[in-house]
Amino acid sequence: MISLLIALSSLGYNTWRNETSELHRNWRQASFELTREINDLQQVVLYRRYFHPVETTPTDEVGDAETWIRGWGRVASVRDLTSVLPDPLPAHGAHLHSTWSQHAQHLNAGDESAREAEEALLAALDNTRDSVLQLIRNLR
């Protein structure tokens, strides 16, 4: 009877440990991919700030289409990846997505609204990155 109890306990613990390890491996892989996406999105914002001023006309709210499309692709990827990670990352991903949707069109403005958009986006990126790095540090 004791042998059966030990065997069942060992099996239960081993199963739990394997499931936990697999979950942590998945979170770790998603976190590394998320870090890459955040860095790529930050490069889009910094590129707009330092190297690619675009003159916009009233009918041209987007500016550089390639940057616009790349930015939306990255921010959607960040939102999707954060949705499969533990709290608080889904909230950070949703906040970054909403910040991008509010401020992305101002990146090409060339005035104070562009500076405010850059600062808001960079702050949201930094907050998300910090949470991802904290998750990676906490995984065992």
The structural domain count of the chain equals 1
DSSP string, 81-125: HHTTS-TTHHHHHHHHHHHHHHHGGGTTS-SHHHHHHHHHHHHHH
Judged against a pLDDT cut of 70, whether residue 62 lies above it is answered with no
Domain region containing 24:
2-138
Lowest mean pLDDT among 1-5, 10-14, 47-51: 47-51
Q: Cα(35)–Cα(44) distance, rounded to whole angstroms?
A: 14
Peptide bond into 86 cis (omega under 30): no
Residue 83 pLDDT: 96
Question: Given a cut of 80, is residue 54 above it in pLDDT?
Answer: no
Reported confidence tier of residue 48, pLDDT bands at 50, 70, 90: confident
Q: Which has the closest alpha carbon to 104: 67, 79, 50, 78?
A: 67
> Which SS3 state, helix, strand or coil, does residue 5 take?
helix
pTM of structure? 0.83
CA dihedral 89, 91, 94, 98 (to 10 degrees): -130
Per residue in 80-101, pLDDT (tens digit) is: 999 999 999 999 999 999 999 9
Closest CA to 38 of 69, 86, 85, 82: 82
User: What are the tokens at 2?
Assistant: 């004791």
Residue 53 pLDDT level (bands cut at 50, 70, 90): low
* Residue 122 confidence (pLDDT) above 60: yes
Q: Kindly report the average pLDDT of the chain as a whole number.
A: 89
What is the per-residue pLDDT for 66?
73
CATH number of the domain that residue 119 is part of: 1.20.120
pLDDT, average across residues 110-118: 88
Both structure tokens of 59: 């009918």
Find the Cα–Cα–Cα–Cα dihedral 126, 131, 133, 139, rounded to 10°. Answer: 180
**Residue 109 has what pLDDT?**
78
Where residue 52 falls among pLDDT bands split at 50, 70, 90? Answer: low
Of the candidates 125, 28, 131, 136, which has an alpha carbon nearest to the alpha carbon of residue 89?
131
